[in-house]
Amino acid sequence: MKLNYYPETDSLYIDLSQKTSMESKEISEGIVLDYDAEGHLVGIDIDNASKKVQLKELILSRLPSNVHTVAA
């Protein structure tokens, strides 16, 4: 999973899978879910992210994998 924030557009994209998005559905104003060809959720796009989610802090707890940090 990857979280990518784009300050120039104030959007946050959460990659849940490496599969390609084939269909998108807006479930709320500025929140779009992306699905692969089999209908599995592969990503979440959040427009105006700074107004909808807390971007200043990210807490990861008990993840069963390695955590990598990439500086912006």
Q: Do 47 and 10 touch, CB atoms closer than 8 A?
A: yes
In this prediction the pTM is: 0.84
Decide: residue 49, CB within 10 A, 0-12 exposed, 13-18 middle, 19+ buried.
Answer: buried
When pLDDT is averaged across residues 47-71 and rounded to a whole number, the result is 83
Query: What would the two tokens of residue 48 be?
Result: 């105006």
Residue 71: which pLDDT band, with cuts at 50, 70 and 90? low
